[in-house]
Amino acid sequence: MKTIKKIAIANRGEVACRIHRTCHELGIKTVLLHSEPDTETLAYRMCDETALIGGAASADSYLNMDHVIAAALKHQADAIHPGFGFLSENAEFAQKVADAGMIFIGPTPETIMSFGDKKTAKELCQKAGVPTIPGYKGEDSDIDKLVSECEKIGYPVIVKATAGGGGRGMRVIHHHKEAHEQINLAKSEALKAFGNPSVFLEKYLHQAKHIEVQIFGDHKGNIHVLGERECSVQRKHQKIIEETPSTSLNTEQRTLVHGYAKKIAELANYLNAGTVEFLFQEDQFYFLEVNTRLQVEHPVTEEVFGVDLVKAQILTAQKTDLNWPAAFQPKGASIELRLYAEDPYKNGAPSIGQVGKLIFPQGQGRRYEYGIEARDRVTPYYDSMVAKIISTQDTREEAIADLLDLLDHLEIFGFYTNKPLLAQILRHPDYMANTVTTQFFENNFNLGLTPSLDAETQKVVADHLTKTLDIFYPIDSYFTHTTTSQKTPSTSAHNSSSMWSSQKNISATSGATLIPNSPWTNQWKESALYQGTPLVRLNLQNVNSMRVEDKMWWSYGSDTYSFSLRTKTSQAGGAQSGKIHSPMPGTLFKVLCQVGDKIKEGDTLVVLEAMKMEHSIKAAASGKITAVHFKQGDILQADDLILEME
């Protein structure tokens, strides 16, 4: 096998940056294969070379195998690293890479085919004696057939995309009345995310914990087990918090599940990185799936076991020895938080916008993975995860405490994130005690969050911030930035708010921060407006603010607020007085009604697509459609009026 000198990174965001850093440490050049919107990203600036592979739609760029391979060949790459998601678990793509004379950094096409198809994977595991979840995995995917099988399995049932993962193409069906809609939505999501609409059915285990085991097969045929991760905090089957080790398992259970994972890997002569996932309920493990790729949550394993999994992937791909010990000794506890671009006060609706401020607080054991900087733009085209926050300490309790302190000092302006949601989850007594199951989020946070400051207090702050714009500190006091023409590689793996030393600051119209003991802070405290208002409840030294485009953003504790500088009021989506507004930016995927239609309460009116997920908007009451203002395929902004009812 030839030595790899240049790797094409067929991915985006934080994982593209993560791969580049390891390549840089190994002296390997990188070429980023990117879509049109992803020129304003950290990965674009970091990588040694860049190649445009298509437009914003994933099908035109990151999922277009021919474009990806052609660009890699044009830039004379020796190998392609697919990261996670997109084409990372596509056996056809892995084979095409090999046929083009390049190395696919991951498992073999045969292994991906065996385990990437969840139905085939389940059959292999049954042969190995590993317990599996009851369900239907037949070839007949006719909608009526699938509904019939749901009845046989018994509700609740979960429908899953045959190819892929990450919560895409997964829907829980609680009643036969919703079976047709949920199956169709799962098929549609699977087709868009993975290019394959095939689905299968399983009995839904609603009191289970999600336990996964990290495996790695080296080029000599050795299977390494690098502990387990617990990922039970999930929303719509998408993980939010992951940790290792799992405190849910005793020594006997840990040995058992590690043995199951190793047995499955040996059965397939597994090569490179992979994860074997299980559901754990009533002291019984059930095989869930094998992810034949690098996992989003791999950093917690790296921190506890002291390895670089991306480096191991590259070395194994070129048949270089890893020199790993026969058995690993974990050290400490590590927890990862996924930071999503979403509005926690609108039940997780996607949030987009320009990044005005992004500062990650430093501390012992803290690690950050991110793909954006100040001045970049969060777009609606891809997954909503913008960063990963990891804390590794001696104990789980110390890691939780450190993450809570970190979130209180993490500053992000320009778009909403789930930062306050993460803080509330970490403080929840069930999470502290680790008694959570995969239903934890649905049972406790399904209705979204309520801001900690009431509307009256928010309005007072908005009024005062508007009146004092002229004495704000300049935006340059927050961050520095370089132009996209500067390709200086990062020498720091984590932690800085910018990965470059700036050559020249870029000015902006205005921005602000409430600096402790500043003249403005004291002026506010002494003002008549402050006296006798709800502001007396605030510690003003902990309030930060910044103008980003036409909005003022400000934070207090882990909460973030914004208001329009034109109206000084926040916009709100939803159905009010018969008017149905878009709750988020995105594409109008389906319009299921027209003027004159009579609608019943609960009917689905339209389906939006945003950040790789489909969102149904249902009628809050019965009525008649009187106006439809947008058509299928239109791009919507948050709060756009979609239709009206009487």
- What is the C-alpha to C-alpha distance for residues 415 and 378, in angstroms, rounded to an integer? 8
- Nearest residue to 262 (alpha-carbon basis) of 137, 254, 104, 312: 254
Pure H helices in 335-438? 396-409, 419-427, 429-433
Which of helix, strand or coil describes residue 58? helix
Give, in order, the Cα–Cα distances in Å from 403 to each of 421, 426, 526. Answer: 13, 8, 34
CA 510 to chain centre: 31
The tokens of 92 are what?
């056809």
Give, in order, the Cα–Cα distances in Å from 24 to each of 43, 288, 307, 313, 531. Answer: 13, 35, 17, 15, 56
Give the DSSP H or E segment for 148.
helix 143-153
The four Cα atoms 348, 637, 161, 34 give a dihedral, to 10 degrees, of: -110
The burial class, CB within 10 Å (0-12 / 13-18 / 19+), for 628 is middle
The tokens of 101 are what?
């004379």
The tokens of 540 are what?
């003003």
Is the distance from CB of 200 to CB of 267 less than 8 angstroms? no
The four Cα atoms 217, 220, 222, 223 give a dihedral, to 10 degrees, of: 10
- Nearest residue to 150 (alpha-carbon basis) of 162, 159, 142: 159
* Residue 289 a catalytic site member: yes
Beta bridge partners of 370: 387
- Nearest residue to 124 (alpha-carbon basis) of 138, 134, 114, 109: 114
Active-site hit among 289, 302, 369, 609: 289
Pure H helices in 29-142? 42-46, 65-74, 91-99, 109-116, 118-127
Beta bridge partners of 8: 31, 80
Instruction: Point out the residues that are catalytic.
Output: 289
